[in-house]
Chain A
Amino acid sequence: MAVTTSPAPTAPPRTPPKRRKPPRREAIAGYVFMSPWLLGLLAITAIPMLYSLYLSFTDFDLLGSPDWVGFANYKRMFTGDPQYWHAVVVTVLFAVISVPLKLAAALGVALLLNRKRRGTGIFRALFYLPSLLGSSVALAIVWQAMFGGSGAFNAFLRIFGIHGEPWVNDPNTALGTLVLLAVWQFGAPMVIFLAGLKQIPQDLYEAADVDGAGRLRQLVNITLPILSPVIFFNLVLELIHGFQGFTAAFVISNGTGGPTDSTMLYTLYLYLRGFGDFQMGYASAMAWVFVLAIGLLTAIIFSTGRMWVHYSDAGEQ
């Protein structure tokens, strides 16, 4: 809306202005209602962010005062810390593998569920349950036990005569168990897919039937294009979520990121440097690079989104 210069405290205009300047009383009320959020934005978000930027140029262990070190933290991060790059690789691997698998599972099950059938509501609810529970420490503990040496997963493999290993203790497979835990929580994007599928007009399929298009043709030429905004929405949401995974990696590796750093997600490494070694300056630098990377990634997804996301109504988002 128009930026108002605060009106002089003379007689207020009695003519009701149509959508022009907001009445003064309403503007004041607006800021009164906004005041908790504004205070939060300033004290909990903006100032800490700036402080974090400052800290990223310092050496700070919480005890003394921060010592200015210029770009030393960033230099160390980019050139002197192989473990940092390892964490970056692990995080990217985790997100790039788990997010597409999760979305594929979500879309696949949503397509199966998207029929008029008794019990759909129960199926939907039960598939959604892991999304509610899965981010908890309790489930991460279960996962660690399930994929341990004598866990349920190996018991299952034994049926087929396969002698499994302790998956969470093997550097080659530990990250895989984290991916499975993420994919297991496909329920939330599935619910969003289901809502999107309900919006597709049935007569499109009837017309395709008349034209002799098979199920697969209909999926590729009708369902996926119309659903593309929803796919896009889920992709952005899950990627951002995926890059921030922490709890499961922390619990499954007993807070070490091991075995041999194979589950060292970015946030876990940040936590270990910041709150394990109290290298607050270094952790702040990592945090800032993280924010910039996520911002850049989001921008890239949005710009490529224009190529494959179809909006039926350009005016609507």
Chain B
Amino acid sequence: MAAVTASPAVRVRRIAGVVVLLVILAIVLYPLLWMVGTTLKSPQEIGSNLSIFPQQVTWQNFADGWNGLPGITFDRFFVNSTLIAALVVVANMASCLVTAYALARLRFPLRRLWFAIMIGTLLLPQHVLIVPQYVLFRTFGWINTPLPLVIPKLLATEAFFVFLMVQFMRGIPRELDDAAKIDGCSPYGVFRHVILPLSRPALVTTAIFSFIWTWNDFFTQLVYLNDPTTYTIPVALRTFLDSSGSNQIGPMFAMAVLSLLPVFLFFLAFQRLLVEGINTSGLKG
């Protein structure tokens, strides 16, 4: 950057800007650093030492937290959360892709109406549906199984991703479809040979956000998973909080940190993609 000509006043303002940003960043990151630091402190130190850094590092909190709930260890909750998140990722990718293909590329009666309804469901709070869906899934015997959390995703109810993929597919040149059609492709062939391979970026974005949202989700998991053996991490953490006094902060924080680790790793690996996902469709973080 050609900053040679910058006047002193401009330079001062620039430095002031960076300093302000650093102060805000310190405030923003403090809770996270405090959380991580606390997990490494001994119980006595948690009460007395309130700085971020532990005086003496101990890993005991992780062992205590892992066995923190009576009868079940945290590996069970990790398996449950991972299974549900993985199923939701696959379900969202498949169902939203085919729906988006129809809405973005195919001409059929009432397409505009369906598109408008799809956009409308974006604004529909899930809380309206929770009671009747609970009644419905209960009659199916689906309580305490992953099915109420996964089957709706298989039916493309996550309209955000449909919208994201429609937007993405509109950017794929139509000439490619036409060329494939001239070569004798049916609409299914165009999907298979043109849209599916070219939609990979949108699919990756969908997969990452599906994972993070499902991993962090609490409301639906709280409603549908009532048996401790079926608990996911958020529900288990909540039970932890309920059953323990304040002297259990270390083990609880240790499990909280572990629960955030996958999301954090996704963040490190894909932060550019995540930020772009926000930009293209206003996806919530």
* Chain A residues close to B by CB (< 8 Å): 1, 3-4, 22-23, 25-31, 33-34, 36-41, 43-45, 47-49, 51-52, 55, 62, 109, 112-113, 115-117, 121, 123-139, 141-146, 148, 150, 152, 155, 184-185, 187-188, 191-192, 195, 233-234, 237, 240-241, 243-244, 246-247, 250-251, 254-255, 267, 270-271, 274-275, 280, 283-284, 287-288, 290-291, 294-295, 298
Contact = CB atoms under 8 A, between A and B. Distances in A.
Contact of A52 (B103, B131, B242, B282): B131
Given A30-B106, A34-B102, A267-B127, A62 B138 contact: yes
B279 interface: yes
B107 interface: yes
A25 B187 contact: yes
24 contacts: A3-B110, A30-B106, A30-B107, A33-B99, A49-B128, A51-B135, A51-B136, A109-B21, A109-B24, A112-B24, A126-B28, A127-B24, A127-B28, A129-B32, A136-B216, A138-B256, A141-B241, A141-B252, A146-B34, A155-B50, A188-B285, A191-B275, A251-B238, A290-B128
B25 A127 contact: yes
A45 B132 CA distance: 10
Nearest to A19: B107
Interface residues of B, number: 95
Contacts of A1: 107-109, 111-112
A244 B135 contact: no
Contacts of A26: 106-108, 187
Contacts of A298: 123
Majority-rule SS of A interface residues: helix
A234 B18 CA distance: 26
Interface string B27-61: 01111101100100000000100100000000000
B157 A135 contact: no
A33 B138 contact: no
Contacts of B154: 36, 40
B282 A237 contact: yes
Contact of B127 (A192, A244, A295): A244
Interface in B180-222: 186-188, 191, 212, 215-216, 218-219, 222
A39 B157 CA distance: 10
A287 B125 CA distance: 9
B108 A31 contact: yes
B172 interface: no
Nearest to A105: B24
A195 B280 CA distance: 10
Contacts of A33: 98-99, 101-102, 106, 187, 191
A274 to B, nearest CB: 5
A109 B282 CA distance: 18
B249 interface: yes
Contact of B278 (A130, A143, A192, A246): A192
A143 B106 contact: no
Most buried by A among B21, B34, B109, B259: B109
Given A116-B1, A141-B253, A136 B124 contact: no
Contacts of B24: 109, 112, 127
Contacts of A240: 123, 125
Nearest to A238: B284
Contact of A138 (B106, B157, B162, B260): B260
B72 interface: no
B99 A246 contact: no
